[in-house]
Amino acid sequence: MTIPNLTLNDGTTIPQLGFGVFQVPPAETAETVTKALEIGYRHIDTAQMYQNEKGVGEAIAASDIPRDELFVTSKLSNRYHEPDDARRAFDQTLTDLGLDRIDLFLIHWPLPTLYGGDFVSTWKTLTEFVGDGRARSVGVSNFQPAHLTRVIDETGVIPAVNQIEVHPFFTNEAARTASHDHNVLVEAYSPIAQGKVLSEKELTAIGGNYGKSPAQVTLRWHIERGDIVFPKSTNADRMRENFEIFDFSLTPDEVAAISSLNQGEAGRLGPNPDVFAWVPR
Ligand SMILES: NC(=O)c1ccc[n+]([C@@H]2O[C@H](COP(=O)([O-])OP(=O)(O)OC[C@H]3O[C@@H](n4cnc5c(N)ncnc54)[C@H](OP(=O)(O)O)[C@@H]3O)[C@@H](O)[C@H]2O)c1
């Protein structure tokens, strides 16, 4: 399977399919990521708050894949939005991953009700890491339209991506459209709705046309809509299944039928970024 590369607004490229490690236990992360690399994944999405960057780093160190064939993303902890904290936390991410440069580093959540609502200073701090060559690209996650407009208006620097919750039950159109309006690619997280797509009859029916599972049909839907995805699995068979989505395509009617499963806010699984204010201890 050849994974398409997409070009970000800063000119760098990113594999459209990757592997996410949210909720992969730290002690199992190296083994899990090693399996994913063996299957062919070359893009890994982790975060400081997942507490498993070291495991990702161990798997990378143990593999013989050239560094320039890998794409590694991490994200700033909600605890470290103050600029000096963000600088220290970024140093720690590079240490834990065992890398001297990361491909993509994101503000994990905007936290508009914390830090005096000043996610702009946090964003400016992340841009320093591109300036000093330690991040190829920087971006944001969970940014609502107003958050995105604000960082762009106040700094003139456009995030490379906006990583937001998107799946058939929550298509998150407002944040997705705002991202596209600013030429920001969307990374669709929880792409198979944390497994909830599996019992959806419409997806099973469409999959029947191609011999594909609801998870594969859903991942293909994301790919055809131009978003970046990184499903999580700790099971090698399911990792392989999620990888095998480039040997079929959906009709425009099928894409539209999947999009019509959208339930709006009722379909959202994660917290609402406008009010989310959790900080790890
Ligand atoms: N920026 C953010 O705030 C944020 C928030 C959430 C997620 N993310 C990122 O997005 C990634 C993916 O999202 P996610 O982990 O929330 O959810 P997801 O990828 O939509 O779903 C993962 C769940 O589905 C199961 N699964 C995976 N493939 C399957 C298949 N083919 N058939 C049946 N079940 C399957 C997994 O179980 P098994 O492991 O048992 O297979 C797991 O329970 C995360 O790992 C993380 O990198 C980012």
Q: What is the pLDDT along the chain (281 residues), one digit of tens a residue?
A: 799 999 999 999 999 999 999 999 999 999 999 999 999 999 999 999 999 999 999 999 999 999 999 999 999 999 999 999 999 999 999 999 999 999 999 999 999 999 999 999 999 999 999 999 999 999 999 999 999 999 999 999 999 999 999 999 999 999 999 999 999 999 999 999 999 999 999 999 999 999 999 999 999 999 999 999 999 999 999 999 999 999 999 999 999 999 999 999 999 999 999 999 999 99
Do 256 and 222 meet the contact criterion of CB atoms below 8 Å apart? no
Residue located nearest, by CA, to atom 29 of ligand 1: 238
Q: Give pLDDT, residue 256.
A: 98
| Segments of 69-200 assigned E as strands | 71-76, 102-107, 135-141, 161-165, 185-189
Q: Which residues are catalytic?
A: 50
Tell how far the Cα of 84 is from the centroid of ligand 1, in angstroms.
32
**Cα 127 to Cα 76: distance, rounded to the nearest angstrom:** 13
Q: Give pLDDT, residue 201.
A: 98
Q: Give pLDDT, residue 168.
A: 98
Q: Is the Cβ atom of 21 under 6 angstroms away from ligand 1? A: yes
Return the ligand 1 atom nearest residue 75 CA.
1
Q: Is the Cβ atom of 238 under 6 angstroms away from ligand 1? A: yes
pTM exceeding 0.95: yes
Q: Is the Cβ atom of 141 under 6 angstroms away from ligand 1? A: yes
Q: Is the Cβ atom of 273 under 6 angstroms away from ligand 1? A: no
Tell how far the Cα of 24 is from the centroid of ligand 1, in angstroms.
10
Dihedral angle, C-alpha 262, 196, 147, 105, nearest 10 °: -140
**Cα 181 to Cα 179: distance, rounded to the nearest angstrom:** 5
Q: Is the Cβ atom of 20 under 6 angstroms away from ligand 1? A: yes
**Cα 170 to Cα 239: distance, rounded to the nearest angstrom:** 23
Residue located nearest, by CA, to atom 16 of ligand 1: 190
